[in-house]
Structure formats: structure tokens, C-alpha cells
């Protein structure tokens, strides 16, 4: 077994579990199973200001995070498929990691921004 294949076999499950775990945590925060706290969830001064804001921001972030988790899972499968070709496999594995990072950041920012706009419009 090549060292790159071993890397893919270790990194793929970690990335997929991180994506779906983040989605589950945000969904639990949106449902109220995880209360507003300074350690878990989307933590900004704005989200910690009010429990209703905390819940609303997390509700808005769930759908984009599900899309991110599906994309990460697809890239992880592609990384396994292309593991025999190290150059293509590395590129797909990097796409998997970057899509996770960008998806989490973008969904959080989008959720905060849309919640602020909606609350200001009221």
C-alpha cells in the first residue's frame, strides 16, 4: 500500500466525520438541545447577545452546512477513487478539505448576516 493511499484512508473519514459532526452540532443548537454557550457553535458577540439570536443563526446555518457535508462526502469518495493517481488524488483531497473549511465559514457568515438583516428590518 502506498503512503498516499494510507493518507487518503485516514484523512477521508476524519473530514467526512468533521463535516457531518459540525452539521449535527449546529442542528442540535438550532433545536435547542445545545444551549447558548461560549464554547460550542457559532460564537460571536452577536450570537451570544440573546438566546433567540443564537437559535436563529444556527437554524439558518443548518441547510448550507448540509450542502457542505454532502460536498465533502463526494470529494472524499472521489479521493478514494483517484487514490491510485497520486497527483489527482492529492488535488481532490485538498478540495475536500478546502470545501469543508470554506463551507463552514461561509455558512456561518451567511447565517449571521441574514439574521442581522432580518432583525434590523423588523
Q: What's the CA gap between 15 and 25, in Å, rounded?
A: 15
Per-residue pLDDT tens over the stretch 65-89: 999 999 999 999 999 999 888 899 9
State what percent of residues in the chain have pLDDT above 90: 67
Any idea what DSSP says for residue 2? -
Per-residue pLDDT, averaged over 34-55, amounts to 84
Q: Are 18 and 82 in contact, with CB atoms under 8 Å apart?
A: no
Helix runs in the chain, H state only: 3-31, 51-81, 86-121
The three-state secondary structure class of 63 is helix
**Reported pTM:** 0.88
Opening angle at CA 63, ends 31 and 90, nearest 5: 125
Per-residue pLDDT tens over the stretch 88-100: 999 999 999 999 9
Amino acid at each position: 500500500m502506498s503512503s498516499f493511499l494510507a493518507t487518503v484512508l485516514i484523512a477521508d473519514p476524519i473530514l467526512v466525520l468533521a463535516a457531518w459532526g459540525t452539521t449535527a452540532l449546529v442542528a442540535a443548537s438550532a433545536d435547542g438541545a445545545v444551549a447558548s454557550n461560549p464554547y460550542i457553535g457559532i460564537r460571536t458577540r452577536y450570537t451570544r447577545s440573546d438566546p433567540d439570536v443564537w437559535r436563529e443563526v444556527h437554524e439558518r446555518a443548518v441547510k448550507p452546512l448540509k450542502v457542505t457535508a454532502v460536498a465533502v462526502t463526494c470529494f472524499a469518495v472521489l479521493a478514494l477513487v483517484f487514490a491510485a493517481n497520486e497527483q489527482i488524488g492529492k488535488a481532490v483531497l485538498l478540495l475536500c478539505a478546502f470545501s469543508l473549511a470554506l463551507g463552514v465559514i461561509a455558512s456561518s457568515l451567511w447565517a449571521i448576516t441574514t439574521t442581522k438583516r432580518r432583525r434590523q428590518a423588523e
